[in-house]
Amino acid sequence: MINFRFLLLILGAAFIFLSCSEGEEDRLNFKEQGREVPEFNADSAYHFIERQLDFGPRNPNSKGHQQAKEYLLNTLQQYAGARYVYAQNFTAKGYDGDTLSLSNIIASFNPQSSDRIMLCAHWDTRPRADKDSVNQDKPILGADDGASGVAVLLEFARLFKENPPPIGVDIVLFDGEDYGKEGELSKYFLGSRYWANNPPVAGYSPRFSILLDMVGGQNARFPKEGYSMQFAPALVNEVWAIADEKGFDELFIPEIGNKISDDHVVINRILGIPSIDIIRHNSSSTNSQFAPYWHTHNDNLSIISKNTLNGVGETVLELIYNRVNVSD
Ligand SMILES: [Zn+2]
């Protein structure tokens, strides 16, 4: 009996393994497509950071949060059409017994296609500057930590309108990513967790998902993040190969980085969508994990680099338009 159960266990594990690897092959199949790729405009992306920072900190329940939500909805409606933009509103418990009003913001391009990919970032900013030496209890502006990923995706949205992508693309802006106090993971990733447990479209199953987090800083380095390599190595390697071909190898460095808990881990674990994180972090040999301005008041416009935004934008656009294997 015990042996039989053991056999079933092994067979079950083998089946899961086989179906996973087969799925990954189908979904993460890349080949040059000979398609034209629209030009990423780093000035425009930079402007989308400025616009977000105009609202001040965008931490949950703040005035800036409410204003930024309206701005993001309006901007995406302009590019995707009002019918294809959706705010997924929900609440979560805050630290002071307060109720946080949160929203994931979703926009769909090429909505008729059942063959889809997903791009995401977090639009909220941190309610505290715990890594600063002053004003630790004040919310941060989050130019890189928050606004940069959103800005690259807004620039994509602008381009998607002019140049419909060859595959369906969903942009998902998560709320409440950076709310938690250090070490309290249950208060992080509020938006992605809610979204993954309550997918707006039942059975939603894009080929893959790419998360952009802290993708606009000066002197940025993106090693291959550890969980991404675990969940979707083929996608990581394709993105880094494109960056190398385009001369962005000093940005996308061919090193394995640390494992960073972020929204992509939630998506991988709850929905099984192969998901990677392009995130600024240091390789495992350094003591500090992130940029010197991380979770401080120095995370403002002065540390933003158009070159970094451009490297990320051009690389991901090449993947979407010219490498994802879709027949016309
Ligand atoms: Zn953060």
Q: Among candidates 16, 26, 98, 109, which has minimal Cα distance to 62?
A: 98
Distance from Cα 309 to the centre of ligand 1, integer Å: 18
Distance from Cα 48 to the centre of ligand 1, integer Å: 19
Distance from Cα 281 to the centre of ligand 1, integer Å: 11
Give ion ligand 1 contacts, CB < 5 A.
145, 178
Distance from Cα 295 to the centre of ligand 1, integer Å: 6
Distance from Cα 178 to the centre of ligand 1, integer Å: 5
pLDDT at 283: 77
The overall average pLDDT reported for the chain is 92
DSSP 8-state assignment for residue 147: I
134-139 — which CB contacts under 8 Å span 24+ positions?
Answer: 134/297, 135/297, 138/57, 138/297, 139/57, 139/59, 139/62
| Integer Cα distance of 52 and 75 in angstroms | 11
Distance from Cα 258 to the centre of ligand 1, integer Å: 16
Per-residue pLDDT of the chain (328 residues; tens, 9 = 90+): 344 343 334 333 433 443 444 455 578 989 999 999 999 999 999 999 999 999 999 999 999 999 999 999 999 999 999 999 999 999 999 998 999 999 999 999 999 999 999 999 999 999 999 999 999 999 999 999 999 999 999 999 999 999 999 999 999 999 999 999 999 999 999 999 999 999 999 999 999 999 999 999 999 999 999 999 999 999 999 999 999 999 999 999 999 999 999 999 999 999 999 999 999 998 766 667 899 999 999 999 999 999 999 999 999 999 999 999 987 6
| Integer Cα distance of 124 and 59 in angstroms | 5
Distance from Cα 179 to the centre of ligand 1, integer Å: 8
Distance from Cα 299 to the centre of ligand 1, integer Å: 10
pLDDT at 285: 66
Distance from Cα 108 to the centre of ligand 1, integer Å: 26
Q: What's the pLDDT tens digit per position in 274-312?
A: 999 999 998 766 667 899 999 999 999 999 999 999 999
Distance from Cα 145 to the centre of ligand 1, integer Å: 5
DSSP 8-state assignment for residue 110: S
| Percent of the chain's residues with pLDDT above 70 | 91
Distance from Cα 180 to the centre of ligand 1, integer Å: 9
Distance from Cα 175 to the centre of ligand 1, integer Å: 12
pLDDT at 289: 85
Domains and CATH numbers, the chain: 42-322 (3.40.630.10)
Distance from Cα 169 to the centre of ligand 1, integer Å: 25
pLDDT at 135: 98
Q: In what order do the strands lie in the sheet containing 85-93?
A: 85-93, 99-109, 168-174, 116-122, 209-213, 275-279
Distance from Cα 245 to the centre of ligand 1, integer Å: 30
Apex 273 CA angle, 149 and 90, nearest 5? 65
Q: Which two tokens stand for residue 40?
A: 């990423």
Apex 275 CA angle, 294 and 117, nearest 5? 115
Write out the E strands in 198-270. Answer: 209-213
Distance from Cα 174 to the centre of ligand 1, integer Å: 13
